Amino acid sequence: MSELLKGNAVIGQSGGPTAVINQSLVGVIEGLKGHPGVEKIYGAHHAVAGIVKGDFIELQDCTEDFLNKIANSPSSALGSSRDKPDAAYCKRIFEAFEKNNVRYFFYAGGNDSSDTCRIVNELAKEEGYELRCFHVPKTVDNDLVLNDHTPGFGSAAKFVAQAFMGDNLDNRSLPGIKINIIMGRHAGFLTAASILGRRENTDDGPHLVYVPEAPFDESKFIDDVEKVYKKFGRCLIAVSEGISDKDGTAIAAKLQENVETDAHGNVQLSGSGALGDLLSDLIKDKLGARTGEKLRVRADTFGYLQRSFVGCVSEVDQAEARQAGRRAAELALSGDLDGSIAIQRVSDDPYKVEFNRIELSDVAAKTQHLDTKYVVDGCNICDSFKKYLAPIVGELPEIATFTFDK
């Protein structure tokens, strides 16, 4: 075993916040605290943006009680960043590390963040500077490869499932066509979570589910809605913000005139009700013309509530996010190791996962997609998806309603 690497640690939180990213932060702190190799534990204010400015907060003296409160709070307590560092930016990160004798770097985020980790790690290697880099997985989109699922997803999925359970009853009470737009640019996991509370052999919605993995066709969409509406007199629809046509063009981008893009070149999908409203208008016009009715069509876009709502968290997700952080710290301190922590499922029943180290280059900048075996006819998710999802989300509240004769 190599000599003990001594120095400071930096923790950063990147990308879109989640309900449990602070669990991972606290898990890393817990794993590092009191270790002879670790002097200061720095929290980077606004992730890489804070690192290059030397904007740090010291975390090693936080009390257990305060850390638990932080862990139970949504969003990134250290502040996040949407910066996507290029080679020059990563060089500045590395220089800040050298200057501050940082020997341990933990970065919680999605696949872009693991790529930043990888580049900084390679820079350090080139310069012969010993630096342990660990990526801690985080994304409500659940789209990291080699992971059974990612911290943050379970809680967001619980929010979506509970929202649909209630909205299904709302739609049943005042029948009409209702569209709900759900986060997920490239992966449909979160949208698919809309079916979790759907009781079998009932008229429960969502009746239609559209994910980015299945090409979206406007005229098929109208046909799908018409079929359900004729059968139930209502229709509850889950739509991923990232639905795209057969050529891979996002419907949101096709329909919007003034498309805003972010630093990653991505079209703005969240923080706007445009896609829902446009699909709503489409149904009013096209289906309305067929039925001759003035249809009651409504659209809600769940937006940022999915990732930051206080008071709707999966306990499994909380515990796993904490454990992922702790495991990253343990591995970094155990020897000359770098990598990313992957949650990998060992068994469904009883539900059991392992927290395994994978190479940064194996997860960086790659996207995991929803297995299309779960997609039915391009417009629904089959109930077998629940077997995968249920243990990650945990128990849902029990609800009931009356059945009326037709």
Which range touches a copy of itself (CB under 8 A), out of 142-150, 166-174, 240-248, 365-373?
166-174
Q: Which of 60, 72, 266, 344 binds a copy of itself (CB under 8 A)?
A: 72
Q: Torsion-angle region of residue 311: left (phi > 0), alpha (psi -120 to 50) or beta?
A: left
* Residue 284 CB, nearest approach to a copy of itself (Å): 9
Indicate whether 170 belongs to the interface with a copy of itself (CB under 8 A).
yes
43 annotated as belonging to a binding site for a ligand: no
The residue among 271, 262, 255, 243 whose CA lies nearest residue 370 is 243
Which range touches a copy of itself (CB under 8 A), out of 173-181, 215-223, 353-361, 380-388?
173-181
Indicate whether 351 belongs to the interface with a copy of itself (CB under 8 A).
no
What residues contact residue 46 under an 8 Å CB cut-off, 6+ apart? 55, 78, 79, 80, 81
What residues contact residue 342 under an 8 Å CB cut-off, 6+ apart? 137, 144, 146, 147, 148, 355, 356, 357, 358, 363
What phi, psi does 308 have (nearest 5°)?
Answer: -130, 0
Q: Give 240 or 308: the residue with its C-beta nearer to a copy of itself.
A: 308
* Residue 235 CB, nearest approach to a copy of itself (Å): 14
Which range touches a copy of itself (CB under 8 A), out of 145-153, 183-191, 307-315, 366-374?
307-315
The residue among 314, 311, 399, 326 whose CA lies nearest residue 351 is 314
Per-residue contact flags (x/-) with a copy of itself for residues 109 to 128, judged by CB under 8 A: --------------------
Q: Torsion-angle region of residue 34: left (phi > 0), alpha (psi -120 to 50) or beta?
A: left
DSSP state of 145: T
Q: Give 166 or 335: the residue with its C-beta nearer to a copy of itself.
A: 166
120 annotated as belonging to a binding site for a ligand: no
* Residue 187 CB, nearest approach to a copy of itself (Å): 21
141 is known as an active-site residue: yes
Which amino acid, 31? G
Q: Is 270 helix (H, G, I), strand (E, B) or coil?
A: coil
184 annotated as belonging to a binding site for a ligand: yes
CB 148 within 8 A of CB 344: yes
165 annotated as belonging to a binding site for a ligand: no
Q: Which of 113, 162, 191, 380 binds a copy of itself (CB under 8 A)?
A: 162
Indicate whether 400 belongs to the interface with a copy of itself (CB under 8 A).
yes
304 annotated as belonging to a binding site for a ligand: yes
Q: Choose the catalytic residue: 112, 115, 141, 204.
A: 141
**Residues that contact a copy of itself, how many (by CB under 8 A):** 65
Which amino acid, 64? E
How many alpha carbons lie under 13 Å from residue 178 in its C-beta half-sphere?
24
Site for a copy of itself in 188-227 (CB under 8 A): 197
DSSP string, 273-313: -HHHHHHHHHIIIIIHHHH-S---EEEEE-TTHHHH-TT--
Give the containing element (helix H, strand E) for 356. strand 352-358
Indicate whether 271 belongs to the interface with a copy of itself (CB under 8 A).
yes
The crossing angle, in degrees rounded to 10, of helices 315-333 and 153-173 is 170
Q: Give 13 or 240: the residue with its C-beta nearer to a copy of itself.
A: 13
Cβ count within 10 A of residue 302: 24
Q: Is 182 helix (H, G, I), strand (E, B) or coil?
A: strand
Helices (H) and strands (E) in the chain, counts: 15, 13
What residues contact residue 371 under an 8 Å CB cut-off, 6+ apart? none
Q: Which of 5, 70, 255, 319 binds a copy of itself (CB under 8 A)?
A: 70
Q: Which of 39, 55, 218, 245 binds a copy of itself (CB under 8 A)?
A: 55
Indicate whether 64 belongs to the interface with a copy of itself (CB under 8 A).
no
Indicate whether 259 belongs to the interface with a copy of itself (CB under 8 A).
no
Q: Which of 145, 146, 253, 305 binds a copy of itself (CB under 8 A)?
A: 305
388 annotated as belonging to a binding site for a ligand: no
Indicate whether 301 belongs to the interface with a copy of itself (CB under 8 A).
yes
Binding residues for Mg(2+): 111
- Residues known to be catalytic: 141
Q: Which residues of this chain interact with a copy of itself, rule CB under 8 A?
A: 13, 16-17, 19, 43, 45, 55, 57, 66, 69-70, 72-82, 162-163, 165-167, 169-170, 172-174, 178, 197, 270-274, 276-277, 280, 297-305, 307-312, 396-402, 404
